Amino acid sequence: MRITQRVKKILDWYESDNPGTKGNLARILMEGKLGGSGKLLILPVDQGFEHGPARSFAANPPAYDPHYHFQLAIDAGLSAYATPLGMMEAGADTFAGAIPTILKMNSSNSLATTKDQAVTASVSDALRLGCSAIGFTIYPGSEYAFDQMEELRELAEEAKAAGLAVVCWSYPRGPELDKNAETAFDICAYAAHMACLMGAHIIKVKPPTAFLSLPAAKKVYEEQHIDGSTMAKRVEHIVQCCFAGRRLVVFSGGENATTDKLLDVIRGLRDGGASGSIIGRNTFQRPRAEALALLSTIIEIFQGKA
């Protein structure tokens, strides 16, 4: 596998990692149409756990089939495909080696009443299925955040020892955070930094709004004139909070959005220096041809062509 100078520079950021982990990071960074650029576009399909099958797949019935998502990610030229254990097992042999995969290790569900996630897979599962990385969600602000962080620490230690990379979904939630706070500028930056401190190689957060939530943080943001006036400026700050850009940070696509609105967000991510995006429902809930066209345009935006 040829590795570009840009990817070699990124690998140098991860000073403690073994050749196996760096090799798997390189595989993700060199895959697909963005391969070698330092940018990532990942398909995550864990929404069946989070929202239920009909809410996730009824809008595009072929998406009930696990093979559909593997093929969509491959045909679109994406960097990696992330999904929980059962869906990964359902296509692992057919698509072995066709695209880097990320095994989502924990999940919640919409029937639960707590802001927690259950660990639903193991590092040995990830190795058995040929994955390049594990994925794990933490909810900063939740009553269960410390337990989740301890679970992540243990799984990350095991994964890194086995040569796997670690992807952390860091989503602020909890009794002190309302919907505005969950995507607030200061809270998203805080959540991204926590994921870096936990040792994640790739951090996933939501695109931040201009809202400032924590009074103590708001004071600092205003005194230090931290610019949150545009998506690009907010993303630039979150990248700064990820060890001054020494960690890969990608942003979710969020709930269903119009194509124009989604592409405006993607341009803001690009202009702010994001490492890329990780988009699920906004792609696989569309008809296949429409999803492929959308993903192609997103790739062109990160390439600076659109």
DSSP string computed for 137-197? EE-TTSTTHHHHHHHHHHHHHHHHHTT-EEEEEE---STT--HHHHT-HHHHHHHHHHHHH
Residue 97, both tokens = 């080696």
Residue 201 and residue 167 in contact, taking contact as beta carbons nearer than 8 Å: yes
pLDDT of residue 50 exceeding 80 = yes
Question: pLDDT tens-digit profile of 152-181?
Answer: 999 999 999 999 999 999 999 999 999 999
Question: Which comes out higher in pLDDT, residue 234 or 1?
Answer: 234
Which domains can be identified in the chain, with CATH numbers? 5-174+252-302 (3.20.20.70)
Q: Which of 160, 204, 233, 261 is catalytic?
A: 204
Residues 58-83, mean pLDDT to the nearest whole number: 98
Percent of the chain surpassing pLDDT 90: 94
| Secondary structure element (H or E) that encloses residue 40, with its range | strand 40-44
pLDDT of residue 254 exceeding 70 = no
Placement of tokens 């095991």 in the chain: 158
pLDDT of residue 124 exceeding 80 = yes
Residue 287's pLDDT is: 98
Residue 25's pLDDT is: 98
Task: Please state whether the predicted TM-score (pTM) of the whole model is above 0.95.
Answer: yes
pLDDT averaged over every residue in the chain? 96
Residue 105's pLDDT is: 98
Residue 112's pLDDT is: 85
Residue 115's pLDDT is: 86
Question: pLDDT tens-digit profile of 271-303?
Answer: 999 999 999 999 999 999 999 999 999 999 999
For residue 56, which of 258, 288, 280 has the smallest C-alpha distance? 280
First CA to last CA distance, the chain: 28
For residue 88, which of 52, 55, 28, 128 has the smallest C-alpha distance? 128
Residue 214's pLDDT is: 95
Residue 100 and residue 31 in contact, taking contact as beta carbons nearer than 8 Å: yes
**What is the C-alpha separation between 120 and 179, in angstroms, rounded?**
27
Residue 257's pLDDT is: 77
Ordered DSSP codes for 79-141: SEEEE-HHHHHTTTTTTTTTS-EEEE-EE--TT--SS--EE---HHHHHHTT-SEEEEEE-TT
Q: How confident is the model at residue 110 (pLDDT cuts 50, 70, 90)?
A: confident
pLDDT of residue 226 exceeding 70 = yes
Question: Phi/psi of residue 8, each to 5°?
Answer: -60, -40
**Dihedral angle over CA of 232, 37, 22, 105, nearest 10:** 50
Residue 208 and residue 183 in contact, taking contact as beta carbons nearer than 8 Å: yes
Strands 118-119 and 106-107: antiparallel
Residues 32-36, mean pLDDT to the nearest whole number: 98
pLDDT of residue 256 exceeding 80 = no
Residue 78's pLDDT is: 98
**What is the C-alpha separation between 158 and 21, in angstroms, rounded?**
11
Which residues have a Cβ under 8 Å from the Cβ of 176 and sit 6 or more positions away? 141
Residue 164 and residue 126 in contact, taking contact as beta carbons nearer than 8 Å: yes
Q: Is 204 a catalytic residue?
A: yes
Residue 154's pLDDT is: 98
Residue 244's pLDDT is: 98
The half-sphere exposure of 4 on its side-chain side, counting CA atoms within 13 A, is 13
Q: Tell me the one-letter amino acid at 128.
A: R
Q: Which of 24-38, 107-121, 136-150, 185-199 has the weakest average pLDDT?
A: 107-121
Residue 1's pLDDT is: 84
pLDDT of residue 260 exceeding 70 = yes
Residue 137, both tokens = 């969600």
